[in-house]
Structure 1
Amino acid sequence: MKKILTVSASNSKNSINRTLLELASSKVEGHEVAMLDIRDYPMPFFSLDREENEGHPETAKQVRALFAEYDAFIISSPEHNGAMPAEFKNLIDWVSRLGDLQNPMFATKKPVLLLSTSPGPNGGATNLQTLSHLMPWWGADIKGTYSLGSFYDYFVDGKLNAEKDQDLTNVVTDFVNVI
């Protein structure tokens, strides 16, 4: 049994990306699943001066320790102006400073599934493409991506319609099968 950490990369209390992540998590069978919500780990904005003068925030150390405990990750990130949210990027900036090239943020090639959704038709696909290119530098082994555009057209009465639910099930099952 593997330990999978799901990461909600949104700082919105009503995040549809967190909802998508919870739906994806419910589809994982036979493995331990826990969630990290970046809202629970506030950090000042990263700067070299702040790092030199104040050191690393305790929350960054806590996140780094959590990352080390898990075998795989499912990350759901909204798209802000074509990129990841500033708060998620800030978390990455701090946590990555606690490692080195031999010990990157996600350790050595830990499998990652990237998810994104949005009210618009793009579904965060631009951000997923960017994250797919960046995350291997941080030690992630991207095993898949899933973008759900027009979230509110498919999520009604607390669930996805049958087609999109099956799409998400397939993506999560494929991910679980390769970890």
Structure 2
Amino acid sequence: MKIIAFAGSNSKKSINKELVTYVAHLFEGHEIEVLDLNDFPLPIFGVDLEAEIGIPSIVTDFASKISSADFIVCSLAENNGSYNAAFKNLYDWVSRIPNRKVFDDKPLLLMATSPGGRGGQSVLSAASERFPRDGAQLLGCFSLPNFNENFNPTKGILDHTLLKELKQTLTEVNNQLKK
């Protein structure tokens, strides 16, 4: 199985990229490719710009990566209660590819983390509502609150209750992937 993982963040020190990389590698024995949104720089989407320049090749490159996946793991940064602007911009561009759903009907594990106690709940709520309409087969969601207290780069998730919750989510996701 080929897993494409990415964080919906353009921070060079993205905590969501740390989380998504950690979780993707829990799916042992599979091909894993972690994408970085910084490798997909784009002008701000607008219909006038699209009419002028068309869809940039970097957008179709990202879409091809999504299409190559058997499974997607995504962790979204939350900025002011919503998507990170770089992610939303890429999302908007991909949505303009003719005859394409953004997630190409791929199974997806959706996550978020933040330094705060809500763990990106607002962006998770928005994405879990939106993504299935754009071709994501949403298999599960996981939120990691208080990232700095609950995550260690070498040990992973430190809080036993949250780790148990993640493992249960991954068990459910694996069971759905086997169907």
Task: Tell me, in whole angstroms, the C-alpha distance in 2 between the residues paired with 1:8 and 1:157.
Answer: 16
Contact 1:82/1:126 (8 A) holds in 2: yes
Aligned partner of 2:167 in structure 1 is: 169
- State the shift of 1:162 in Å: 5.3
- State the shift of 1:157 in Å: 6.5
Structure 1 residues 176 and 30: alpha-carbon distance in aligned structure 2, compared to 1, 3 A threshold: farther
What is the aligned counterpart of 1:120 among 116, 128, 131? 116
Asked if 1:106 corresponds to 2:103, the answer is yes
Task: Tell me, in whole angstroms, the C-alpha distance in 1 between the residues paired with 2:17 and 2:158.
Answer: 18
- State the shift of 1:176 in Å: 2.6
Task: Tell me, in whole angstroms, the C-alpha distance in 1 between the residues paired with 2:16 and 2:69.
Answer: 21
Aligned partner of 1:73 in structure 2 is: 72
Bigger RCO (CA 8 Å, 6+ sep): 1
Tell me the C-alpha RMSD between the 2 structures.
1.5
Letter of the structure 2 residue corresponding to residue 38 of structure 1: L
- State the shift of 1:3 in Å: 1.3
Contact 2:114/2:144 (8 A) holds in 1: yes
**If the length of structure 2 is used for normalisation, what is the TM-score?**
0.91
Which structure 2 residues correspond to residues 150-169 of structure 1 after superposition, within 5 A? 150-156=146-152, 158-159=154-155, 160-161=157-158, 163=160, 164-169=162-167
Contact 2:3/2:33 (8 A) holds in 1: yes
Contact 2:3/2:24 (8 A) holds in 1: no
Aligned partner of 1:36 in structure 2 is: 35
- State the shift of 1:72 in Å: 1.4
**If the length of structure 1 is used for normalisation, what is the TM-score?**
0.91
Question: Unpaired segments of 5 or more residues in structure 2?
Answer: none
Letter of the structure 2 residue corresponding to residue 132 of structure 1: S
Task: Tell me, in whole angstroms, the C-alpha distance in 1 between the residues paired with 2:31 and 2:76.
Answer: 21
